[in-house]
Amino acid sequence: MSAETIFRIHLILGYVAWLLCFTAYIWPWLRSMERVEALRAIATLHSFRFFGLVLLLPGVVGPNLPADFATVAAYGDFATAILAILALLTVRIRPLFLASVVAFNLVGIADLIDAYYHAIRANVPAQAGELGAFYAIPIIYVPLLLITHVAAFYLLMRLRSNVVVASASVLS
């Protein structure tokens, strides 16, 4: 089996496993929390994305890993981590916290989509061995990141709709 095929199987099964785990355990846990606390938990997970900068370290990744992919993914992860940390630091200032949550989710999901685009364009799946020690990240961590971005957007929309409904009942 080729490296590309193995990588693609790993990637697909990473999403399948995380979706099963998320729907069985994580989503019920997040839904049982007050929404701000659930968003805070998601921000905590994303605050560790700073380690995406490891894509820029020779010796951790192979010398032939396409720089086009590595640079974009590394700095996108770093920006997302900084915004997630900002959200965690501002949790007591609700408007700033919510704005930071929106920001890290927009930047984070755009980063993941952009990283997939660059990975496909640079044919990273065929060069999966060049990911070196980083190989496990797109297989184990990235699926959970994408799933939690979707969950965060859902929670933010629910929060917004509750505010609209509450405002409408006050005005009536």
Quick: pLDDT tens for 2-44: 989 999 999 999 999 999 999 999 999 999 999 999 999 999 9
Rounded to two decimals, the pTM is 0.89
The full length of the chain comes to 172
pLDDT(165) > 70: no
pLDDT-based confidence at 158, cuts 50/70/90? confident
What pLDDT score was predicted for residue 138? 95
Phi, psi (deg, nearest 5) at residue 58: -60, 140
Tokens 């996108």 correspond to 76
Note the pLDDT tens digit of each residue in 53-93. Answer: 999 998 899 999 999 899 999 999 999 999 999 999 999 99
Instruction: Determine the pLDDT at residue 126.
Output: 94
Q: Is the pLDDT of residue 51 over 90?
A: yes
Residue 110 burial class via C-beta count within 10 angstroms: exposed 0-12, middle 13-18, buried 19 and up: middle
Distance (Å, whole) CA 42 – CA 63: 33
Q: At what angle do helices 35-46 and 94-121 cross, to 10 degrees?
A: 40
Question: In this structure, which amino acid lies at residue 3?
Answer: A
How many C-beta neighbours within 10 Å does residue 152 have?
24
